[in-house]
Structure 1
Amino acid sequence: MTQDVSCVQPSDSIKQAAQIMQSRNVGSVPVCDGKKVVGMITDRDITLNAVAKGKTSETQTQECMTQQVVSCRPDTDAHEAADLMARHQIRRLPVCDASGNLVGIVAIGDLATVDIHINEAGDALSQISQPSGQQEIH
């Protein structure tokens, strides 16, 4: 898990979110109200929900973000994290404490560095990369 996570506030602009993505070389950023995760914004959210609709770079992140956030707790094991990522087709999983406060983030690449079943991270990535509704059943 990465503990040094950059986030944006719901009222921050999508330009600020994009600049964080560029500087951190990531495709998504948690949206937090204080430290509580209230959404995720991805480069795809910005493209489809703002640029394609003619919105400006000053559009607030809350207008484009995904509000249904899938997250895990700090004590979630790598197997369960991989399963959550595969099931919900996400590449980054916010790690939140019992109050919903952001304490870190797990990326699909992080799973490849821990001692889990040899194909588990690869299986998760394979399922994440499939179009919705087309997941393989194992």
Structure 2
Amino acid sequence: MLIETLRPMTSARLATVTANATLLTAARVLSRPQVGLLIVCDESGRVAGVLSKSDVIRHLTNAGITEASAANVMSRGVVSCRPEDDLYATWQKMTARSLQNMPVLDADLMPLGVLDIRDALRALFMNEEYQERLLQNYIDGVGYQ
């Protein structure tokens, strides 16, 4: 199963801001339901970094400055996936790095969506259930349905 199969979910979770957006603006975007990761883009629309709710809270706790720019607070070492990546391998990478969300980027580093680990796990589980039903039908002599 490929990341591409989850495109409706990943694109619905996509939220971006420019690098010069204030932390207050970023916090407002992050407060929306279904948004767990904010992608910070440069002038050309490519990914410059990511900003999580934890990043915002950590900054506010330490510095308390809401006028700081997203670029000053964002994580620059972006761990991402591509639509053609295997979902199971991506889920393993997310689990190994304790990531709740991962940007889905195209070859030019343009954001396409955000993969939530719960969506990935749900899709993997549904795929396993489907495979189990196929196998059971085969064993029962029903054939593939």
Question: After TM superposition, is the score higher than 0.5?
Answer: yes
TM-score normalised by structure 1 residue count: 0.76
- 2:109 counterpart letter in structure 1: G
User: Pick from 68, 80, 84: which aligns with 2:77?
Assistant: 68
- 1:39 counterpart letter in structure 2: G
1: CA distance, partners of 2:121 / 2:61? 34
Partner of 1:3: 11
Correspondence list, 1:86-125, <5 A: 86-116=95-125
Report if aligned partners of 2:81, 2:105 keep a CA contact under 8 Å in 1: yes
Equivalenced residue count is 117
- 1:81 counterpart letter in structure 2: T
TM-score normalised by structure 2 residue count: 0.73
Residue ranges of structure 2 left out of the alignment (5+ in a row): 1-5, 129-145
Structure richer in helix, relative to its length:
2
Residue by residue over 1:49-80, the C-alpha shift from the partner in whole angstroms, topping out at 9 and shown as x without a partner, is: x2123342111011111110000111112111
Partner of 1:134: none
Alignment partner of 1:47 is 2:57: yes
- Deviation of 1:111 after TM superposition, in Å, equals 1.1
Percent identity reads: 25
- Deviation of 1:12 after TM superposition, in Å, equals 0.3
1: CA distance, partners of 2:86 / 2:71? 30
- Deviation of 1:6 after TM superposition, in Å, equals 1.4
Q: Which has the larger radius of gyration?
A: 2
Q: CA RMSD in A?
A: 1.8
